[in-house]
Amino acid sequence: MATCPGCALLCDDIDVIVENNRIKETRNACRRGAARMKGCFNRLAPSIAQKPVDIESAIRKAAEILKVAKSPMLFGFSNSTCEAQVKGIQLAKKLGAIIDDTSSFCQGLLIETIFQEKFRTCMLEDVRNKADVLVYWGSDAQDSEPRHLSRFSYFPRGESRQRGYEEDRIAVAIDVRESNTAKICKGHFYRIQPKGDREFILALTDALSGKVPAYEPKKILELAAILKKAEFGVIFAGIGLTYSIKEDMEILVALADKLSNFHIMPMVGHYNMRGFNENLFKETGFVNRVKFEGKAVQHSPAEVLDTPSRGVTLVHDDKYSIVEALRNESIDALLVAGSDPLSSLPRSLVRHLASIPVICIDPCVTMTSKITAVTIPCAVSGVESGGTAVRMDGKKIELSKIIESDYPTDEELLTRLMEAL
């Protein structure tokens, strides 16, 4: 059995058929997972200024760029193993750099709230065995984490839910569109207006407090009744919800306080985004957007690290998010590991990428890799190399090495880069 690195469900029940050191077929994997495991069409090659070189030269050039940069940034890491993420954090400390990951414009806010223990949360096995009311809020799991409903939440027979979805479980969808997940939640789909989550949460909080909600009272009271009856409820919070209430996560905390039998779980796309959040949180107390200031004299408990002689402090600020750093043009070099900002960020923001040297570590050619100063190919983690990753609920999962590869792992590349520095 292999583990799929397609999304943060990290399904560990995948059968693979290997032929000539290539994955010919996968069984049990979803479309996304199967495509990830079978590999991309365009593998990245090492280059400097878009001209082919050997990997060693590319690493040396990357080190040169980072060494002379006054304000370097490291970004990505949500598609990297925990081991590579730890190396990335060490590299950021060594450089006195900013480090941020994709959670910065995804589920970081929600995950930080969970780490601060403001919500009750649970494991996916608890969901399978105990959950009777499942609320998909701003989350289309069927398209983003396609085996969520079949492996863990709605369809399986769990220890206390032997009658499964037919009798024992109710699935609810709250969304701006009738997603594929909402279609499964037939009869319990609550359509909200764009950015209407706040109004909906406040109305639901009123209904749970015995007040008549100001907004769609009949539907809200009906939903409140379902939630109140839950023995083990879970709100699967998608980015639709997080984006909509990003200025006021506290209203979700207040709603959770009214629902004593409920748990909140972030729906995470990238396979090890939560791993990065955990690793950085362990080191700094923050899940993303951190700057290590190498020249600072002051010491603090957070400065532990492997460079104690240097005196490193850290600063956390929204201006250290990838989007603000690019918008403010405050960085002069960027290392991107396993991400494609040119593709995933607003075009209005990425202009600055054209004016600074960018180093790209990735298994595949990406939009970003096509304009970068240095490209360094790496192995596909979970396929060509093993390691550890953290599932969306916080469980550590081992990744398997399925096929042999000459490509170095991202952990190895970051180690070699540190040595070259």
Three-state SS at 399: strand
Nearest approach, Cβ of 49 to other proteins (angstroms)? 11
Residue 158 or 269 having the CB closest to other proteins: 269
User: Contacting other proteins (CB under 8 A), which of 19, 117, 247, 404?
Assistant: 247
Considering the rule CB under 8 A, would residue 364 count as an interface residue with other proteins? yes
Give strand pairing partners of 219.
none
Residues 6+ apart with CB under 8 A from 235: 135, 137, 256, 262, 263, 264, 265
Residue 3 or 142 having the CB closest to other proteins: 142
User: Contacting other proteins (CB under 8 A), which of 169, 289, 291, 416?
Assistant: 289
Considering the rule CB under 8 A, would residue 351 count as an interface residue with other proteins? yes
CA atoms of 123 and 137, how far apart (whole Å): 18
Residue 191 or 310 having the CB closest to other proteins: 191
Residues 6+ apart with CB under 8 A from 331: 69, 71, 72, 73, 98, 325, 352, 356
The full length of the chain comes to 421
- Contact criterion met (CB below 8 Å) for 231 and 68: no
**Backbone φ and ψ of 171, nearest 5°:** -110, 135
Considering the rule CB under 8 A, would residue 323 count as an interface residue with other proteins? yes
Considering the rule CB under 8 A, would residue 51 count as an interface residue with other proteins? no
**x/- track of binding to other proteins for residues 10-39 (CB under 8 A):** --------------------xxx-xxx-x-
Two structure tokens written together for 73: 């940034």
**x/- track of binding to other proteins for residues 108-127 (CB under 8 A):** -x------------------
CA atoms of 144 and 153, how far apart (whole Å): 15
**x/- track of binding to other proteins for residues 131-170 (CB under 8 A):** ---------x-xxx-x------------------------
Nearest approach, Cβ of 24 to other proteins (angstroms)? 15
Please report the beta strands in 224-373, taking only residues with DSSP state E, as ranges in sequence order. 233-237, 262-266, 290-293, 313-316, 333-337, 358-362
Q: ∠237-242-245 over CA atoms, to 5°?
A: 125
Residue 9 or 207 having the CB closest to other proteins: 9
Which of the ranges 113-121, 129-137, 200-208, 244-252 carries the binding residues for other proteins, by CB under 8 A?
244-252
Among 90, 39, 41, 114, which residue's Cα sits nearest to residue 268?
A: 114
Name the residues that contact other proteins, by CB under 8 A: 6, 30-32, 34-36, 38, 40-42, 104-105, 109, 140, 142-144, 146, 176-180, 191, 194-195, 239-240, 243-244, 246-247, 269, 289, 318, 321, 323-324, 327, 340, 342-351, 353-355, 364-367, 370-371
